[in-house]
């Protein structure tokens, strides 16, 4: 009679899924550390490696977008954030960030669409609704701004600034 095979994950042995998540977390932390230290080219290399190793992970594409923004490549950052929302369609923050980038890229229709998506995902998030309201104002889109203002005021009933936007 031989030894019983060990179950993955028992007695400190990581399962494949846990180990992959740990590698992903380390990769993201390394990239952000390199970026924070001003080592942008090293961050780009690490990001490219992470994209190959974890192509389906939204956080890899999100940190890649951060690098692109640091480098002043707004269009590339938007393209990378589009990959985030493809992989995580309920990520309201990514939709909101994408709205801001679309606004910067003079794409008011795209920005308005992204604002609508982000707003609908988390209608009770006052901070998100305020940011979306500001994006909509910058686009001179009164209808979307008004909807975001209503959601912002509902999410933060004690916020006088939100209430003032409804007047």
Chain segment 4-13, per-residue pLDDT in tens: 554 444 444 4
Statement: residue 15 has pLDDT above 80: no
For residue 17, what pLDDT band results from cuts at 50, 70 and 90?
A: confident
State pTM to two decimals. Answer: 0.78
116 is written with which tokens? 């609508």
Q: What is the mean pLDDT of residues 104-129?
A: 90
- Cα–Cα distance list, 25 to 21, 22, 35, 74, 157 (Å): 6, 5, 15, 25, 37
161 is written with which tokens? 């600034």
Question: Terminal CA-to-CA distance of the chain, rounded, Å?
Answer: 80
pLDDT tens per residue across span 135-147:
888 888 888 888 8
142 is written with which tokens? 């009164």
105 is written with which tokens? 């890229």
Report the distance separating Cα 70 and Cα 67, nearest Å. 5
């Amino acid at each position: 009679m031989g030894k019983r095979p060990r179950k993955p994950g028992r007695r400190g042995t990581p399962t494949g899924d846990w180990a992959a998540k740990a590698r992903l977390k380390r990769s993201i932390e390394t990239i952000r550390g390199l970026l924070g230290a001003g080592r942008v080219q090293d961050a780009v290399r690490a990001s490219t490696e992470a994209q190959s190793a974890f192509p389906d992970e939204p956080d890899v594409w999100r940190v890649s977008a951060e690098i692109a923004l640091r480098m002043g490549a707004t269009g590339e950052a938007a393209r990378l954030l589009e990959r985030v929302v493809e992989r995580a369609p309920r990520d309201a923050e990514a939709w909101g960030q994408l709205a801001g980038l679309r606004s910067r890229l003079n794409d008011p229709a795209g920005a308005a669409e992204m604002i609508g998506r982000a707003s609908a995902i988390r209608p009770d998030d006052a901070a998100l609704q305020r940011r979306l309201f500001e994006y909509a104002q910058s686009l001179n889109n009164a209808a979307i701004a008004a909807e975001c203002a209503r959601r912002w005021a509902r999410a933060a009933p004690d916020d006088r600034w939100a209430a003032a936007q409804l007047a």
